[in-house]
Amino acid sequence: MTAVLDVLAAVALVSGGLLCLAAGIALVRFPDLLSRMHATAKPQVLGLLLVLIGCGLRLRTAVDITTLVLVGAFALVTAPVAAHMAGRAAYRTGQVRRDLLVTDELADHPPDAP
Amino acid sequence: MTPRLRRRNRIVAVAGLVAVWLLLWGSFTPLTLAGGIVLALVVLAVFPLPPVTFAGRLRPWPIAVFTALFLRDLLLASAQIAWLAIRPGPPPRSAIIAVPLRVGSDLNLTLTAEAVSLIPGSLIVEADRRTGTLYVHVLGVTGPAGVERARAGVLDLEARIVRAIGSAAELAALDPEGAPR
């Protein structure tokens, strides 16, 4: 039983680490800020969740697992907000590669500034 | 907002804060529970939350459907971004599209925006609260067909969220315009 849990933990930790690596590569290779925020919002969050699951399977104590659950929940809630804020600031200051956009429907309807 | 609704919102907020407090302690004892309730009341008195109205109710089966599809989407999204990151070739093209949501409540706008950012290819750039419109940046789009597919995907996601936690009135708002555009 312990061995099975350890193997599962190792699989989760390694695949989580690989996803975070892919997110890092995406940060370097993607052309503009909006595309890069995709990398921080998705593979990064899933990678973190997998690492947390791996830690939980290895630690197996209630105190640690509740903390890991909180870390995961707050990552899920805050990562999209952070990506939205950075993306919005980038758009409003014109840091967008327009030559790579197929269409830009925000340009026609600029929302009121708050 | 009626007093009854306000009391209900406050109870939901206290319950959420107490849950976080209990998870931080990692133990469920009468002392941590009482401490959490006291602390939650103090926090809500000192930092009043904006009035986010939760008018709907929780429906277990649609919530399970939403969670399952959300996890699948999160996996797909991560795989897609990872592939776009490591494949050789030119940088991926993208688009910014406007998606007018059918249910314009603050809670629905927020939840849909959060979920959209974690599913394949899409990220919120701007949210117009007045008209209930989300402006979504879509990665890996190559033409008008892809744009329409992304728009339909966001509307699908909204429908799943409303079915899971929306009120009867919000569910009704989905239907008349529910036909594919």
Distance from the Cα of B106 to chain A's closest Cα (Å) equals 15
Looking at beta carbons, which pairs linking A54-57 to residues 24 or more positions away fall under 8 Å?
A54/A8, A54/A9, A54/A10, A54/A11, A54/A12, A54/A13, A54/A16, A55/A9, A55/A13, A57/A5, A57/A6, A57/A8, A57/A9, A57/A12
SS3 B119: coil
Alpha helical stretches, state H, B26-143:
30-46, 60-86, 106-118
What is the pLDDT at residue A51? 92
Domain chopping of chain A, boundaries: 2-98
pLDDT at A14 over 90: yes
What is the pLDDT at residue A113? 47
Comparison of pLDDT for A113 and A88, the residue scoring more? A88
pLDDT tens digits, one per residue of A62-87: 888 888 989 988 888 888 888 888 88
Comparison of pLDDT for A38 and A58, the residue scoring more? A58
- Interchain pair B93, A101: CB under 8 A: yes
Q: ipTM score of the complex?
A: 0.74
Low-confidence ranges of chain B (pLDDT < 50): 178-181
Residue B180 — left, alpha, or beta (φ > 0 → left; ψ -120 to 50 → alpha)? beta
What is the pLDDT at residue B55? 67
The pLDDT of A20-44, averaged and rounded, is 83
Q: Give the chain A residue whose CA is nearest to the CA of B81.
A: A39
| B112-171 residues touching A, CB cutoff 8 A | 113-114, 116-118, 120-121, 123-128, 130, 133, 135, 137, 139, 141-144, 146-147
What is the pLDDT at residue A52? 92
- Residues A47 and A20: beta-carbon distance below 8 Å: yes
Percentage of the residues of chain A whose pLDDT score is greater than 90:
15
Domain chopping of chain B, boundaries: 3-46, 60-174
pLDDT at A42 over 90: no
SS3 B27: coil
Distance from the Cα of B132 to chain A's closest Cα (Å) equals 11
Across the beta sheet with A101-104, the strand order is A101-104, B94-100, B133-139, B122-128
Within 8 A of B96 by CB-CB distance, chain A residues are 91, 101, 103-107
Within 8 A of B114 by CB-CB distance, chain A residues are 76-77, 80-81
Within 8 A of A16 by CB-CB distance, chain B residues are none
> Residue A43 is nearest to which of B24, B78, B128, comparing CB atoms?
B78
> Residue A19 is nearest to which of B25, B78, B128, comparing CB atoms?
B78
What is the pLDDT at residue B38? 92
